[in-house]
Amino acid sequence: MRILAVDAGNSRIKWGLHDGEGWRVQGWVATAQVARLAREWARLPPPDVVIVTNVAGSRVARSLAAAGRPLKRRVRFVRSAASQCGVRSSYDDPAQLGADRWAALIGAWHLHRGPCVVVNAGTTMTVDALTTDGVFLGGMIVAGADLMRQALARNTAALRPQRGRFAFFPARTADAIASGALNALAGAIERMQRFMREAGQAAPLTVLSGGAAPPIAPQLNGRIEVVDNLVLEGIVRIAHDSFKGRVRK
């Protein structure tokens, strides 16, 4: 079964065509340029399923549905559930969990089958706890590094946006801002690691994905694995669980 998996975020729309054994091709467009997808997808072998996580709103959802029409496949949208693909949700209302977070949890579970802190770092950063037996305990949503810098620039008179570098002891304002943002993000992840250990879980693996993962990973302690496009990995698992053997146009 060929699956066109799509992860529509606030800044980027990432997609990949999976043939059941691996990724044939992957790509992305800026969310503001969603209309480009129809041209990019026209070059692909026809998929059996087009399946999407979308956190970018209803306008983007309509544009994604339109991009899928030339493929003669109805675009299907992931909905978070109480239980799916071996993962169980502890959210008070499972349907309220972002579909991208749900897919990332499923992707992490099928890749590792053990306790994980599942992190997706982009415009925002989500930090979710997954137990030894596949239970999603809950998680955090944190402003990403760019949002933190923008908030400082918008709400202070002197801290204008500047490109800085991480340092243990920053001696320039730009470096102080860059280091503060990265330390805040790393601190949220490491606190979740600690919360899981205090809840009786074995030392969790941190599964880190997203466009902002590379600068965060070196600042973390413990076991870490960076996974490209973890949400897409989870979408493929959901597609196999939901549609294999009964795909319809």
In 4-37, which positions are buried (b, 16+ CB within 10 angstroms) versus exposed (e)?
A: bbbbbbebbbbbbbbeeeebeeeebbebeebeeb
**Is the pLDDT score of 245 beyond 60?**
no
Which residue among 24, 48, 77 closes a domain? 77
Residues 68 and 127 in one domain: no
Segments of 122-194 assigned E as strands: 124-130, 135-143
Residues 200 and 147 in one domain: yes
Please say if 7 is a catalytic residue. no
Residues 71 and 118 in one domain: no
Residue 240 domain-assigned (yes or no): no
pLDDT value at residue 173: 86
Residues 44 and 142 in one domain: no
pLDDT value at residue 7: 97
Amino acid letter at 168? F
Residues 121 and 215 in one domain: yes
The average pLDDT across 189-211 equals 95
Q: What is the pTM of this model?
A: 0.92
Q: Could you give the CA distance from residue 195 to residue 200 in angstroms, rounded to a whole number? A: 9
Q: How many domains does the chain have?
A: 2
Residues 118 and 72 in one domain: no
Domain holding 153, by residue range, is: 114-229
pLDDT value at residue 158: 67
Residues 6+ away with beta carbon under 8 Å from 93:
none
φ, ψ for residue 4 (rounded to 5)?
A: -95, 105
Residues 68 and 131 in one domain: no
Q: Could you give the CA distance from residue 83 to residue 13 in angstroms, rounded to a whole number? A: 26
Residues 73 and 120 in one domain: no
Residue 49 domain-assigned (yes or no): yes
pLDDT value at residue 140: 97
The average pLDDT across 47-55 equals 96
Residue 174 domain-assigned (yes or no): yes
**Is the pLDDT score of 190 beyond 60?**
yes
Cα dihedral 68, 69, 70, 72 sign = positive
Residues 222 and 139 in one domain: yes
Q: What CATH number is given to the structural domain containing 177?
A: 3.30.420.40
The average pLDDT across 228-247 equals 87
pLDDT value at residue 246: 58
Residues 23 and 130 in one domain: no
Catalytic one among 100, 128, 175, 241? 100
Residue 236 domain-assigned (yes or no): no
Residues 131 and 202 in one domain: yes
Residue 235 domain-assigned (yes or no): no
Q: How confident is the model at residue 249 (pLDDT cuts 50, 70, 90)?
A: very low
**Is the pLDDT score of 62 beyond 50?**
yes
Residues 67 and 124 in one domain: no
